A = this chain, B = another copy of it.
Amino acid sequence: MSVNELFKALSDENRRKMLDLLRNGELTVGEIADHFEMSKPGISQHLSILKHAELVYTQKKGQYVYYSLNTTVFQDVMKWLIQFNQEKG
């Protein structure tokens, strides 16, 4: 995980919406896709970016892949942001 990947991942509105959906608990790719007017491969590619940034993790159950939020990485972004409100240096 790189800081750059992390911010790049967060820079897309659709991806942020996906993260928002996942706040209510894990969802399959299909369930996520239902909230967007985008092809499933498109969804899958966005999820892949979120996964590489370690913003989400996956769990395979049968033929479904469940995506969940990885809150610890949100905390890393926050650490990055919080430093800006602290003493200079």
Contacts and interface: CB of A to CB of B under 8 A. Distances in A.
A2 to B, nearest CB: 10
A19 B78 contact: no
A41 interface: no
Copies in the complex: 2
A81 B77 contact: yes
Nearest to A24: B88
Interface in A1-17: 3-4, 7-8, 10-11, 13, 16
Contact of A81 (B8, B24, B78, B88): B78
A82 B78 contact: yes
Contacts of A88: 23-25
A64 interface: no
Contacts of A13: 4
